[in-house]
Amino acid sequence: MRIPNHTTVKEFILVGFSNHPNLQVPLFLIFLGIYAITLTGNVLIILVTSVDPALHSPMYFFLRNLASLEICFNLVIVPKMLVNLLMENKAISFAGCAAQMYFFFFFGAAECCLLAAMAYDRYVAICNPLHYPDIMNRRACFQLAGASWFSGFPVATVQTTWIFSLPFCGPNQVNHFFCDSPPVLELACADTSLFEIEALTATVLFILFPFLLILVSYVRIITTILRMPSEEGRRKAFSTCSSHLVVVTLFYGTASSTYFRPKSSYSPDIKKLISLSYTVVTPMLNPIIYSLRNKEVKSALRRTLTRLRGC
């Protein structure tokens, strides 16, 4: 990434929650607890779905990928946030800020596409069950997962390179707890209108388009479920996709309010709370949602923990 010579800013200051000094230690303890739960829960999901033969199906293959993404997503943001809550020096280098933004975009776009792949898996399982093993074979699953992970590369590369090629010659305080594009872009001393058009295009492609695919899939899924003659069949079919639907609602409901309205009238504190919901809270809730609402996962978790105690 080539940085123009007229960029004078060498580091940024992540303001974070420093305007609430009395809350620094309590927030550190809260976020540390959430971080520990997130890592533990997602590692358990990966472990259980990997070692238990009963969970070697496409649905749990995608769930394992989602858990891996959530761990990576958290590692990009939370450790630096925790350090800043305890340290007076809240600086992040120019290159460090660019790297944090790059991987945030990378894993965020990948998660959007993976959630769409998971919705497609549920669509095939419920709407076309006889052909499900043929359509969602091992090769198709790896291709969908691989495409989801790779989808983060172009958006992260274009967005980050463009932003950090802009001149930064004035204030360097990022009014956020990580290097997100809207607050960093506010510090650029150049016309950013062209980038905002590109960012909106990327948002449509990597947030709205996957969401529309999910929406279409669930319209077809719900229509199929309602046509089932058996109440038990309807209940069982809905239970297989309800967890994913809750996760999609949590993730998209909060992320869209930030990236479809980058210059919204929300106060900086409200924007930080919204960002916390999809960067910190949702990754913690995902394994809880999937384990509490899924009998197969709960049973497999008990079997795995029993085997671990036996060792």
> What gap in Å lies between CA 63 and CA 273, rounded to an integer?
26
> What gap in Å lies between CA 92 and CA 159, rounded to an integer?
19
If DSSP codes are grouped into helix, strand and coil, which group holds residue 174?
strand
Across 91-111, b (16+ Cβ under 10 Å) vs e yields ebebeebbbbbbbbbbbbbbb
Q: Which residue has the higher pLDDT, 146 or 259?
A: 146
Model confidence pLDDT, tens digit, residues 68-106: 999 999 999 999 999 999 888 899 999 999 999 999 999
CB of 17 closer than 8 Å to CB of 272? yes
Q: Give which of 153, 157, 179, 158 is closest to 168, Cα–Cα.
A: 179
Residues 274-296: what's their mean pLDDT?
A: 81
| Summary mean pLDDT of the chain | 85
> What is the pLDDT at residue 286?
83
Q: Which two tokens stand for residue 95?
A: 């290159």
> What gap in Å lies between CA 225 and CA 145, rounded to an integer?
26
Share of the chain above pLDDT 70, in %: 91
**In the predicted structure, residue 210 carries a pLDDT above the cut 60:** yes
> What is the pLDDT at residue 264?
54
**In the predicted structure, residue 5 carries a pLDDT above the cut 60:** no
> What is the pLDDT at residue 259?
65
Maximum C-alpha span of the chain: 69
> What gap in Å lies between CA 19 and CA 39, rounded to an integer?
28
CB of 98 closer than 8 Å to CB of 1? yes
> What gap in Å lies between CA 126 and CA 122, rounded to an integer?
6
Q: Which two tokens stand for residue 249?
A: 């609602």
Task: Give the CB-side neighbour count of residue 311, counting CA atoms within 13 A.
Answer: 6
Strands (E), 172-233: 173-174
> What is the pLDDT at residue 260?
62
The DSSP output letter for 207 is I
**In the predicted structure, residue 15 carries a pLDDT above the cut 60:** yes
Q: Which residue has the higher pLDDT, 52 or 60?
A: 60
> Among the listed ranges 155-164, 165-174, 190-199, which one has the minimum average pLDDT value?
190-199
**In the predicted structure, residue 3 carries a pLDDT above the cut 50:** no
CB within 8 Å of 211: residues ≥ 6 apart: 112, 116, 248, 252, 256
Query: Could you give the angle at which helices 24-51 and 58-86 cross, rounded to 10 degrees?
Result: 160
> What is the pLDDT at residue 241?
80
Across 252-268, b (16+ Cβ under 10 Å) vs e yields bebbbbbbeebeeeeee
> What is the pLDDT at residue 2?
46
DSSP result, 254-288: HHHHHHS-TT-S--HHHHHHHHHIIIIIHHHHHHH
Q: Which two tokens stand for residue 45?
A: 């999901």
CB of 30 closer than 8 Å to CB of 89? no
Residues 216-234: what's their mean pLDDT?
A: 87
CB of 277 closer than 8 Å to CB of 247? no
**In the predicted structure, residue 121 carries a pLDDT above the cut 90:** yes
Q: Give which of 188, 147, 129, 141 is closest to 164, Cα–Cα.
A: 188
Measured CA to CA in angstroms, residue 286 lies from 12, 69, 104, 247 at distances of: 32, 11, 18, 6
> What is the pLDDT at residue 263?
56
Which phi and psi (to 5°) does residue 189 adopt? Answer: -100, 65
Q: Which pTM does this prediction carry?
A: 0.88
> Among the listed ranges 144-148, 211-215, 246-250, 302-306, which one has the minimum average pLDDT value?
302-306
Q: If pLDDT is split at 50, 70 and 90, which confidence band does 1 have? A: very low
Please identify which residue in the block is written with the tokens 């769409």. Answer: 116
